[in-house]
Amino acid sequence: MYEQVSHALLNDILDDLSHQVVREDLRHFYTRLGANFYAIHSLFEHLYGHREDFKEQITRLTERLARAYIDRPESLRQIDMEREENHNWFLSQEWTGMALYLDGFAGNLQGLTKRLSYLQELGVNMVHVMPILRCPQGASDGGYAVSDFRNIDSRAGSVDDISELTEAMHKRGMLLTLDVVVNHTSNEHAWAQQACAGDKTYQDFYYVFPNRDVPDMFEETLPEIFPETAPGNFTWNDQMERWVMTVFNTYQWDLNYSNPSVFIEMVDIILFWANQGADIVRLDAVAFLWKKIGTTSQNEREAHLILQLMKDCCQVVAPGVLFIAEAIVAPSEIIKYFGEDAVIAKECEIAYNATFMALLWDAVATKNAKLLNQGIKSLPLKLDRATWLNYIRCHDDIGLGFDDADIHACDYDPYAHRHFLIKWFTGAFEGSPARGRPFGVNHKTGDARIAGALASLAGLESALETQDQEAIDHAVNLILTLHGMIMSFGGIPLIWYGDEIGTLNDSSFLDDVNKAGDARWIHRPRIDWHRAERRHEQGSVEQRLFDGLKRMIEARKRTPAFADFNNRELVDVSNPHLFAFLRTHPTMLTSSVLVVANFDATPQYLDLEQLSNRGVFRYGLLQDVITGDSPAVFNNRVIIPPFHFYWLANQRARSML
């Protein structure tokens, strides 16, 4: 009966559309709309079915989808059809990404187009351009306080420059990732300005309250995101004489998704950027989309329904476009952003593997893989047609959100262990070579997060200061080992710009009054292209890192076992300093690769007898997939040098193919 209701409503909407839209080929649109409308109607009804204007609102949504499809360039429609036929295309091992701030990397969009050859030289074929939409100067939160969702910062270029960039990238077989900040707007956005002027329609786009009654009820359970710089979750607006929900910063107003007009506008914005050529849309702060008194207002069921609805709408207009869920939450929660009770992703196809990132940094500080191994065992399996985005550094801080049960299982005290990590990475622990800074310090709880460039956190900065060659070698090897893990774990590796040449902390942000209070700017560099040229100087740090990553990416692309089909098996080894796992392609079993990393400052060994039934690695000629060299083996034990890793394959087994 319910399906009949949605079918009848769809017919009414299509009849109306046929009068509005003439001389347009909408065959693919109608086919996809018919295939997805039952799900769209069901979700929209669940969220907004109690409203008297439900039919009017879902009709508006469908009309927006039709307009977006009509606006979609033919070249992008062709890409959609190709990806529909090869629906696992993004699970391939061929993809390697880089995230970058446009001004720090290339100045503007035209500059980035000119730098594509540099990215190709490295092997990068997916580029995440950090948000470049219009934001108020001095209150932009690094691009995440958007004042105009359809125009970019004039310093970056124009929307036409985006189209030219995507055309150049697609010719080179590269993918473009762009952000849509779905949780909030700047207080200078037109919607917020109209709300300030007293327009009730736009006040309903946000959470606005005349007094502290409701805000105080929220505050009882809402955590503070930035307790140092933006304590609390509500801000008084003098012009409206109202309290506004501002979970992140006082100038970022949270959008009210209980209003269907907000949902429709944001879907339209996502499709707008899809039509400019974005292959992947990163949805920012998705965990916060639904607010509910008495909860943390994170990871609510309705937030997942909103994402499902966004995905279904995108499937109608631009099915070749992927979503990234930016949700830095517990492993048991992050897995839900792929979609529950499904085989293929019904929310976002890609999610940040923040757990793996944090666990890798724990291994760096402790020089053992105990918590890393324990934490990976607790990482839930993802859906088949979904993948991780694996990274070491990004624009944000390093959080220490490990599961306390995992920390206890490693015989650590959770509070003491986190405190040790903060001291280690900020250089406050005796003997630590790290040069990070604390971020987001909560003086009430003692919690903090960590900011800093990869090279500085890994000890390269301090090693270069003292010109200690052994320390430099260790830092370079550690940086490559960390990348070796994200390249082989399963998913899309994402390099942070500058890490490929060992870019250090940039403290110049302290001279900018608009940035000095945010320590994360220390690892948001402006690339020194003269230094980047040293990648051609044999033996330089830049050359060792750049060429090491380049060889790694090349090897990854030619290794089918690194495609992401839930084909990773953690290997239990008795040596606590080692992290080891097996990658096996589901249809090419003899192409298996054994990945092993040593996080200690001394050589360690892997006993091949401990590989149990994985006999393919117990005998025969082991070779490193990257270099082609054979590791040192003594008494059936593989020797792994300090801060080193191997991707090992049995060449005898491979030769039998």
| Packed helices 54-71 and 260-275: angle between N→C axes, nearest 10 degrees | 10
Taking CA atoms, 344 is separated from 201, 234, 304, 384, 386, in Å, by 38, 38, 15, 6, 7
Collapse the DSSP code of 396 into the 3-class scheme (helix H, G, I; strand E, B; otherwise coil) and give the result. Answer: coil
Instruction: Provide long-range contacts, Cβ within 8 A and 24+ apart, for 443-446.
Output: 443/227, 444/227, 446/415, 446/419
The DSSP line for 147-165 is SEEEEE-TTT--HHHHHHH
Q: With 0-12 CB in 10 A as exposed, 13-18 as middle and 19+ as buried, what is 163?
A: middle
Residues 6+ apart with CB under 8 A from 471: 433, 459, 462, 463
Which residue pairs, CB below 8 angstroms and at least 24 apart, start in 356-359? 356/388, 356/390, 356/485, 356/486, 356/489, 357/390, 357/391, 357/392, 357/398, 358/398, 358/399, 358/400, 358/401, 358/402, 359/402
- For residue 137, CA distances in Å to 85, 147, 156, 185 come to 44, 10, 14, 14
Residues 6+ apart with CB under 8 A from 67: none
Tokens of 348: 């976002």
From 268, 284, 397, 500, the catalytic residue: 284
SS3 177: strand
Given the residues 80, 179, 326, 500, the one annotated as active site: 326
Check if the beta carbon of residue 97 is closer than 8 Å to that of residue 494. Answer: yes
| Closest among 512, 500, 506, 485 to 118, alpha carbons compared | 500
Asked if 326 is an active-site residue, the reply is yes
How many angstroms separate the CA atoms of 153 and 136, rounded? 10
Pure H helices in 106-143 = 109-122
Residue with tokens 């650590």: 412
Phi/psi of residue 445, nearest 5 degrees: -110, -20
Rg (CA), the chain: 25
Taking a C-beta distance cutoff of 8 angstroms, is the pair 187, 253 a contact?
yes
Distance (Å) of CA 597 to CA 39, 485, 648: 45, 8, 11
The number of CA neighbours under 13 Å toward the Cβ of 608 is: 22
- CB-based contact 500:546 (threshold 8 Å): yes
The separation between the first and the last C-alpha atoms of the chain, rounded to the nearest angstrom, is: 55
Assess whether 148 carries a catalytic annotation.
no
- 104-107: long-range contacts (C-beta < 8 A, 24 or more apart)? 104/497, 104/498, 104/524, 104/525, 104/526, 104/527, 105/497, 105/527, 106/527
Token code pair at residue 479: 């940086």
Which residues are bridge partners to 179 per DSSP?
A: 282
> In this structure, what token pair is assigned to residue 33?
């709309």
The catalytic residues are 284, 326
